Amino acid sequence: MAVVVTVVIALVLAVCGCVGFGVLGSFVDGSTNSGQPFDPEFDEPDGGFAEEPTEAAPPAPVATPSGGPGRFTVVYEVTGTATVDVQFYDANADFFQFDGVRSPWRMALTANDRERVQIIASPVGSGEASCRITIDGKVVSEDSGEYGATCFGW
């Protein structure tokens, strides 16, 4: 009789142990509900976060003023021994900065205000940079230097 009681106790413990390990395993592998609702804005099925909204692309420089065709034609030119940072005004007199531009760089536009015809070229790292502004086919400004160059259209 003692052998039968021992076998029954062993079987009960084995069944309880299997059930216990199954419940414990569901807690460990995360398959149970955490009590927090699914939010499709932040949760993805793969466990990651939903894609963040992307920022709008920055505006591109314009080659023609918004007020009309422009009174004169401008050509910006930049050269350097390596890549350069370029700062300039576009046709609407909006200021732009492009970092790490490959040399040579050129942009043609029409403009109405010569005071907003400017360009600055700075070498990235060591080297030289130069700039040139042509208005209606005539070179009006040129500059070059080890630390950068600045050209004006007036």
Give the model's confidence band at 133: pLDDT under 50 very low, under 70 low, under 90 confident, else very high. Answer: very high
The answer to whether residue 83 is domain-embedded is: yes
Give the pLDDT confidence score for residue 154 in this predicted structure. 84
Distance separating alpha carbons of residues 80 and 88, to the nearest angstrom: 16
CATH of the domain at 106: 2.60.40.2880
Strand partners, 98: 86
Q: What is the Cα gyration radius of the chain?
A: 35
How many structural domains compose the chain?
1
| Higher pLDDT pick, 23 / 54 | 54
The answer to whether residue 107 is domain-embedded is: yes
Domain containing residue 94: 72-152
The answer to whether residue 61 is domain-embedded is: no
- Give this prediction's pTM: 0.63
CB 127 within 8 A of CB 82: yes
